[in-house]
Chain A
Amino acid sequence: MILNFLLNIVYIFVSTVISIIPDSTIPDFITDTIATVSTYFSAFYSFLPFVTSTLIAVVGIFITIEGIILLIKVINWFIRKIPFLN
């Protein structure tokens, strides 16, 4: 009963907040660009396989790290908005 009430309050609050925010999708030209870049990578892969593999791995790790950092900052931003916790 008590947990139901608290969970529902949290759910209503969060769902209301996120319902205000519009959905976002990555623009098509970016995905098309990445697909095109893949064809260039593929051409270089047969010629310089180590360099190409390294670049792909580096890009992947870079995106991962920046994504994690962004998420940490977003979460901290939310936490700081909670009264008395800042």
Chain B
Amino acid sequence: MPIFRKQHSFLIVLFFTVLFFVIFPKTGIAQVSSTTFPALIYDNFDSYTLGTIDGQGNWVVDSQPTRITVNYTQQLQVSFPYALKDIGGNSFHATSTTALGEGTQFFWIAFTKNDIGYTADPVAFFSATYQVLFSFYLARTGDYEYCLMMTPENVCVSDRRFVASTNPVVWYPIGIYWNNYLGIVRYYDGEWTSDHAIGLIGTPTMFFYGSNSDKGIFMDNFTDNSLFPITTGVSTTTSSATLKQRAYDGCNQWIFPSNYICSALVYLFLPDYFYLSQFIVLKDAMLNKPPFSYVVDTFTAFGGLNASSTPAFALSAIGAIQTVIFDNLDIGIAGVIWLFFALWLIKRIGDFVP
């Protein structure tokens, strides 16, 4: 019996070893977080309010763009159905509908302008190197003059394409990428240290502007004071079936009976995106409920506590007295405060009982 148990345990270990290190990686299941979702992406922004897009729909500001490695066999379609709209009757038109296949992924937006002719050539595309990341570079020369460029993230300097031109003084990078793990589109709104990107100055980097019927992300084209859309249709939806289909496709590459075992495991144990995404919503809901809301609200309230607000009254001392007495007193009192705080902290942590 002990020998049987040992063999039995060995078979279990062997089974899970094969499962996690052979089947799952082979089928791509273990690479979910680093791959791009093949999904039709679309958002018409109809329910959004004007202003910053951060927090609306599935748009969030991310601290850093992420390069996404594409590794799938199905095709990705990106479309901008709402981009073919006149904005103010005098606009650029942006269109893009293309299919991305393995090894030949690309993405393009063709801008045309009806009053000066048009060009059907793609002005930007991504990416022959399995990288799909939308990097919109915005330059500002004045308060209302902007320039938009698009570039593959991995060759952001040498291969960027001008959509419109100006004499840039400050470059603003905007990275947009599709996070298939979270199922959201994100754009980059932080510091960027590559060439021509000096950083942001705390102003919105993309306009979220338009009439009630024509909302979207727009750039001022600064040539005729009209707006043209950049992304009026970028993703908020995804398909869990697509992810599963990828896994099934991977399983089908195996011979009988491994393919059936693999497919059965996928069917049983690979959760749909919908069921995972519910918990993202749940997390946001929980932040509004006590006791979590008390912590969140307290942090938010005390986040406004600073020394840079308008003083309630003025305090000053004669220069010599300030230098001789108060400067030293300041340092001394601060040290005493830190000392007492450290003692309190040691006691608090030491007495803590979970």
Q: Which of A4, A44, A50, A60 meets B275, CB within 8 Å?
A: A4
A30-65 interface mask toward B, CB cutoff 8 Å, 1 = contact, 0 = none?
Answer: 110011111111111111111111111011111111
Write out the residue numbers on chain B whose beta carbons fall within 8 Å of the beta carbon of A58.
337-338, 341
Q: Which residues of B contact A59 (CB under 8 A)?
A: 302, 305
Contact partner of A3 (CB less than 8 A), chosen from B271, B302, B307, B345, is B271
**Please, which residues of chain A bring their CB within 8 A of the CB of B326?**
47-48
The count of residues in chain A whose C-beta lies closer than 8 Å to any C-beta of chain B is: 58
Report yes or no: A46 in contact with B304, Cβ–Cβ below 8 A.
no
B302–A43 touching, CB < 8 Å: no
Distance in angstroms between the alpha carbons of A59 and B276 in the assembled complex: 37
Q: Which residues of B contact A36 (CB under 8 A)?
A: 312
Assess the B271–A4 pair: CB atoms within 8 A: yes
The answer to whether A18 touches B299, judged by C-beta atoms less than 8 angstroms apart, is: no
- The answer to whether the Cβ of A86 comes within 8 Å of any Cβ in the partner chain is no
Which of B29-37, B90-98, B280-288 forms part of the interface with chain A?
A: B280-288
User: What is the CA–CA distance of A70 and B282 in the complex, to the nearest angstrom?
Assistant: 20
Chain A interface main SS type: helix
A3 touches B337 (CB 8 A): no
Query: In the bound complex, do residue B299 and residue A63 qualify as a contact, i.e. CB atoms below 8 Å apart?
Result: yes
Is the C-beta of A26 less than 8 angstroms from some C-beta in chain B? yes
Chain A nearest CB from B181 CB (Å) reads 16
When distances are taken between beta carbons in the complex, the residues of chain B under 8 Å from A40 are 312
In B320-347, the 8 Å CB interface with A consists of: 326, 329-331, 333-334, 337-338, 341, 345
Q: Can you add 16 more A-B contacts, CB < 8 Å, to A42-B307, A54-B334?
A: A2-B269, A4-B272, A7-B276, A21-B290, A26-B298, A34-B301, A38-B309, A41-B307, A42-B310, A43-B311, A43-B312, A48-B330, A60-B302, A65-B348, A67-B295, A74-B291
